[in-house]
Amino acid sequence: MKPAALVGALAAGALALAPVQGSPTRRLPLQAPQKLTAGPLLGFVSGRDPNKGVRLARIDPRILRPTGSRSLRLPFADAWAVAQGGRTLALAVHPDPVNEANSLKLVTLPSLRWRPGSVGLGGDVDGLAWISPQQVEALVGKFVCCPATQRVVVVNVKSRRVVRRAPISGTVLHIARSARGLVLLTGPTGAIGPASLVVADARGVRATRLPAIQAGEIPGGGGISQWRLPGLAVDPTGARAYVADPGGQVAEVDLRTLAVSYHEPNAERSLLARLEGWLQPTASAKGDSGLIRQAQWIGNGFLLVTGRNLGDSREQVASDPAGLEVIDTRNWTVDVLAPEADSFSVANGVLLATGARWRGSVNPTGMGLEAYGTNRKRRFALFPGRAVSVDFVANGRAYISASGWKRDHVVELRSGRVIGTSTAESPLLLLGRGNIDDF
């Protein structure tokens, strides 16, 4: 067995057979984002010509298709956010398919009618948030990829004027949403160094450094970069943010005071973390390398963390899953749910996990699709050995894609069976407070 394969087998075996002592047994609150708009379910629907924008239409939740005669033709929309009460939709739009400066426009719901006027935002927008009944903030500027200055722009929607601009120091690496605005994880521009957490709300833009958490990107030639990207999650009800470092440490930040505390969920670092040196960047790196994590708060004290490790393995570009961890922030214990996962989706009552592993130009292998219930027990597994991804989940069904498939496979979550295939492009549903163009 090759060394890299041996490491993966040992790590997977250790995590599967030796769960952390004291792992919590409480049920996971697996609730998908809910519709917060007034009236029927809405979604963005693409037409046959992708260069002619989209329509905002009422969606039949049973078949996920437009219903009724009323819809709104849109230019290209980069971000959206729903006001408290669900009767006003803010959109960051631009007229052409290429990236260009966005404008803020408002739509009255559920009538789907434009409100008069628009406000120029001066650049690409990666996130919108309502910070008061009369104010919308936008994160403006290139996200992750480029050194251009990013800034928060606040618009008074009643006067249709920009009332505040605040630059963001460093480079934004992750975006999350709190109950009062946007929360950003930043790192030094063009380097890997101490991370910062930025809170943008009605109080303005505030930041605190996280000296124990390293984050950032070192750009290389030919578009190749070195990464260290912790995960970011926000508990909006508790007004706390969590930054999950790839090494296992978690920074907890009070969003009101910006007080920071650090936690080590594992008494000892997992085998995967201790052996991460197998995939650390080398001078001969042929592609992006480093450690990338994503995190999500799911409520009742639970945090989900996963990601992937990128780098060279025996002179080949490689990617390995970091595994899916459930962290209980009450007692900082960890349960490794799916050691081969690098991505997850939360449906109502079901946690879907997928993961891929690849070396060089060889087609990736994967764990297929695994579904877990609120009791953390695996309910079903499909497509073993395949690298698949969850395109979206709606109406009790998951739409699964994979390289080489011409159609999405439709999985009924209640039974765990493949009930058909779908070629139709799904609408982008307006669920929750708004979208985030995260990494």
Cα separations (Å) of 268 from 25, 211, 261, 335?
Answer: 20, 21, 19, 13
Q: How many CB atoms lie within 10 A of CB 192?
A: 17
Determine the average pLDDT of the residues in 398-414.
93
Among 20-34, 228-242, 403-417, where is mean pLDDT lowest?
A: 20-34
Task: Give the tens place of pLDDT for each residue, 279-309.
Answer: 444 444 456 789 999 999 999 999 999 999 9
6 CB-near residues (< 8 Å, 6+ apart): none
Question: Comparing 387 with 280, which gets the higher pLDDT?
Answer: 387
The candidate with the shortest Cα–Cα distance to 365, out of 356, 373, 374, 353, is 356
Distance from C-alpha of 65 to C-alpha of 46, rounded to nearest angstrom: 11
Task: Give the tens place of pLDDT for each residue, 424-433.
Answer: 778 889 999 9
Tokens of 93: 């739009």
Task: Give the tens place of pLDDT for each residue, 215-237.
Answer: 999 987 766 788 999 999 999 99
Give residue 362's pLDDT band: very low, low, confident or very high (50, 70, 90): confident
pLDDT of residue 52: 72
Highest mean pLDDT among 93-102, 205-214, 317-326: 205-214
pLDDT of residue 385: 96
Neighbouring C-alpha atoms within 13 Å toward the C-beta of 416: 15
The label of the residue with tokens 């290389």 reads: 220
Tokens of 70: 């009323």
Q: Tell me the backbone φ, ψ of residue 223, rounded to 5 degrees.
A: 80, 10
Task: Give the tens place of pLDDT for each residue, 146-200.
Answer: 555 799 999 999 999 999 999 999 999 999 999 999 999 999 999 999 999 999 9
Determine the average pLDDT of the residues in 267-277.
44
Give residue 217's region: left, alpha or beta (phi > 0; psi -120 to 50). Answer: beta
Tokens of 378: 């695996």
Query: Identity (one letter) of the amino acid at 268?
Result: E
pLDDT of residue 283: 41
Question: Comparing 32 with 155, which gets the higher pLDDT?
Answer: 155
Strands 388-394, 378-382: pairing is: unpaired
Task: Give the tens place of pLDDT for each residue, 312-336.
Answer: 656 678 899 999 999 999 999 999 9
pTM for this prediction? 0.88
Distance from C-alpha of 343 to C-alpha of 319, rounded to nearest angstrom: 13
Q: What letter would DSSP give residue 291?
A: E
Buried b (16+ CB within 10 A) or exposed e, 58-71: bbeeeebebeeeeb
Percent of the chain, pLDDT > 90?
68
pLDDT of residue 63: 84
Q: How many CB atoms lie within 10 A of CB 314?
A: 12
Cα separations (Å) of 325 from 55, 135, 236, 402?
Answer: 38, 37, 21, 24
Q: How many CB atoms lie within 10 A of CB 173?
A: 24
pLDDT of residue 18: 36
Do 423 and 406 contact (CB within 8 A), yes or no? yes
pLDDT of residue 172: 94
Highest mean pLDDT among 75-79, 124-128, 282-286: 124-128
Instruction: Give the SS3 label for residue 63.
Output: coil
pLDDT of residue 224: 77
Distance from C-alpha of 407 to C-alpha of 275, rounded to nearest angstrom: 38
Average pLDDT in the chain: 86
Q: What letter would DSSP give residue 245?
A: -
Strands 356-359, 350-354: pairing is: unpaired
Tell me the DSSP string of 186-218: EE-TTSEEEEEEEEEETTEEEEEEEEEEEEEEE
Give residue 311's pLDDT band: very low, low, confident or very high (50, 70, 90): confident
pLDDT at 91 exceeding the cut of 50? yes
Determine the average pLDDT of the residues in 253-262.
98
Question: Comparing 50 with 300, which gets the higher pLDDT?
Answer: 300
Do 129 and 157 contact (CB within 8 A), yes or no? no
